[in-house]
Amino acid sequence: MFKFEDNYGLDITPRIKIPGHLVGEVQSKLAYVDEQIYKAEVDTLGEHIHLDFHQPLEQSELVTIEAKVQRVVEKMVQGTIKPKIVVLENHMDRVTPNNTDPTSELYSLGEIYQEADGIYSLGPMLSRLIDFFEQQFLSLAKFFNATPYRFPTLIPAKYLEQVNYFQAFPHSLTFVTHLREDLDVIDHFAEEASCKEDSLTTDMGSFDKIQTLLSPAVCYHLYFALAGKTLTNESLAATSVSNCFRYESINLDSLERMWNFTMREVIFVGSKDYVLENREIARQEMEPFFEQLGLAYRVETANDPFFIGEFRKQAAFQSAFQLKFEIRASLPFKKSTLAIGSYNYHQDFFGRNLNINLSDGSPVHTGCVAFGLERVAFAFLAQYGIDPNNWPSIVREYVN
C-alpha cells in the first residue's frame, strides 16, 4: 500500500509491522534501496515509512521502490524475536552541563571542516581532545602489555572475501582502483580528467580491476598477519590505531556517522578463556575512567549492522551469545545514545577461517576493544559543550 505525494515522496505502510527494536535498523537500511532516496524515516510505531526523493519519479518507479522496501522489511523483520538486552553498566543518570548539538559551533570555530559527505578535517581543539582520549586508551593497552602494530589503510579484496565480509556488510564497502597501465589511458586521463558534480568524468574502462578496498576495521589486519601460524606463546595482546572506512550513504551525519573515521583497538588472541576474561577486564578498567570523566553512558549487548539478508540470523546469534557489548554515550540534544566503543568477542571465527592455531592445534579465539575516536570526542562535547571552562579538570588541563 502506498500513497503518492507529488511523486517527490512516498508513504508506505509496511506489510509487516516493524517492532520497536528494529525501527532504527530498518530505517538505516532504507538508504540502500534506491539511489533516488535522500531521506528515509520509519515512525516509532513501525507502521509507517516515509521516503523523500531527489526528483519526482514515475509511477512505475514508485511501484518498484515500494516492492523493494517491502522486501527489506520482510527480510529483516519476519520471524524476529526481540533480543534480551543485557546491561553491564548504566550511568545514564549522570548529570552533564550541555544539551545542545555542538556541531554548528565546531564549524564556526573552524574545528571541523567537511571535505565531502562523511569526510572531515579536525582542528586543534578536537585533535587535542582526541589525543587526551588516546592517552587513556594507550594506558589500557599498556595495562595488558599490548604490543604495538601499524596497519595499512588498504585491504586486499581476497582478505575480506576470506572472512565473509562481502556477505555481511556489502553496503558499506569502499573500493579502490587506479588507472590501467596503458600509456594511452594515462595520457588521456592527464589531458582530459575533470570533475562534474563532484565526480570524475573518466570512463570506467580506464580503471583497473578492483583488487583492493579501504579497510573497514583494525583487528582484521592482525589476524591476516597471523594466518596459517601457530601461536607458540598461547596468547597475544596487541594494539593499533587506524583509519577505517564504512560508507553509510544518507545516514552519514557530522562526527556521529562518518565515511572515514579513526579507531583505536586493543586486540586479544588466544584461548576462549583468555579472550573472554581480558575483554571483561578491559571493561572494568575503563569504568573508573568514564566515571572520572563524568560521562553519561551505558554498556549493553548489541549487534553489528549486518546487511538485510544476513541481518536476522547474524544479529540474533551475536546477541544470544553476548558477542558484542557497546559503550553507548548519551547525546542529550537528541535524547538518544551513540556507540563510542565496543567490547567484541569473535569466538574462533578468525582462527578457523584463517587457520591460526594454539599449540594443541585448536583454532585461536579472538576479541577486541574498539573505540571510535571522533565519536568519543563528539559525545563528550555533546555532554559538556565546547567551552573548556565547563569541562572536567582532567580534560581541561590536558587540552589547554
Contact residues toward Zn ion (CB under 5 A) are 219, 265, 368, 370
Cα distance between residue 258 and residue 245, in whole Å: 8
For residue 257, the 8-state DSSP code is B
- DSSP line for 82-117: PPPPPEEEE-TT---S--S--HHHHHHTTSEEEEET
- Using CB under 6 A as the binding criterion, the count of chain residues that bind ligand AMP stands at 16
26 binds, among ligand AMP, Zn ion, none (CB under 5 to 8 A by kind): none
φ, ψ at 146 (rounded to 5°): -70, 135
Cα distance between residue 343 and residue 348, in whole Å: 16
How far apart are CB 222 and ligand AMP at their closest, in Å? Answer: 14
Residue 328 touches ligand AMP, criterion: CB under 6 A: no
Q: How far is CA 177 from the centre of its chain?
A: 23
Q: Which three cell numbers stand for residue 282?
A: 578491559
For residue 85, count other CB atoms closer than 10 A to its CB. Answer: 11
CB of 56 within 8 A of CB of 8? yes
CA proximity to 364, closest of 206, 212, 229, 163: 229
Residue 382 touches ligand AMP, criterion: CB under 6 A: no
278 binds, among ligand AMP, Zn ion, none (CB under 5 to 8 A by kind): none
The residue within the footprint of ligand AMP, chosen from 155, 241, 340, 364 (CB under 6 A), is 340
- DSSP line for 185-210: HHHHHHHH--EETTEE---GGGBPP-
The residue within the footprint of ligand AMP, chosen from 375, 383, 384, 386 (CB under 6 A), is 375
CA proximity to 154, closest of 132, 170, 173, 176: 176
Amino acid found at 67? A
Q: What angle do CA 170, 348, 285 make, to 5 degrees?
A: 95
- The CB-nearest residue to ligand AMP is 372
Strand partners, 44: none
Cα distance between residue 183 and residue 253, in whole Å: 41
Residue 354 touches ligand AMP, criterion: CB under 6 A: no
CB of 153 within 8 A of CB of 242? yes
How far apart are CB 300 and ligand AMP at their closest, in Å? Answer: 12
Q: Hey, is 271 helix, strand or coil?
A: coil
Q: Annotate each residue in 247-286 with x if it binds ligand AMP (CB under 6 A) or - if it does not, as one string.
A: -x--------xx--x-x-----------------------
219 binds, among Zn ion, ligand AMP, none (CB under 5 to 8 A by kind): Zn ion
CB of 250 within 8 A of CB of 257? no
Residue 342 touches ligand AMP, criterion: CB under 6 A: yes
How far apart are CB 303 and ligand AMP at their closest, in Å? Answer: 10
257 binds, among ligand AMP, Zn ion, none (CB under 5 to 8 A by kind): ligand AMP
Q: Which is nearer to ligand AMP, 17 or 21 (CB)?
A: 21
How far apart are CB 99 and ligand AMP at their closest, in Å? Answer: 21
For residue 389, the 8-state DSSP code is G
How far apart are CB 219 and ligand AMP at their closest, in Å? Answer: 9
Q: Which is nearer to ligand AMP, 257 or 279 (CB)?
A: 257
No. of helices (H) and no. of strands (E), the chain:
13, 21
Cα distance between residue 146 and residue 3, in whole Å: 57
Query: Which residues ranging from 291 to 320 are in contact with ligand AMP (CB under 6 A)?
Result: 304
Residue 221 touches ligand AMP, criterion: CB under 6 A: no
How far apart are CB 370 and Zn ion at their closest, in Å? Answer: 5
How far apart are CB 137 and ligand AMP at their closest, in Å? Answer: 12
How far apart are CB 319 and ligand AMP at their closest, in Å? Answer: 14
Q: Annotate each residue in 157-196 with x if it binds ligand AMP (CB under 6 A) or - if it does not, as one string.
A: ----------------------------------------
Residue 374 touches ligand AMP, criterion: CB under 6 A: yes
How far apart are CB 243 and ligand AMP at their closest, in Å? Answer: 11
Residues that bind ligand AMP (CB under 6 A): 217, 246, 248, 257-258, 261, 263, 304, 339-342, 370, 372, 374-375
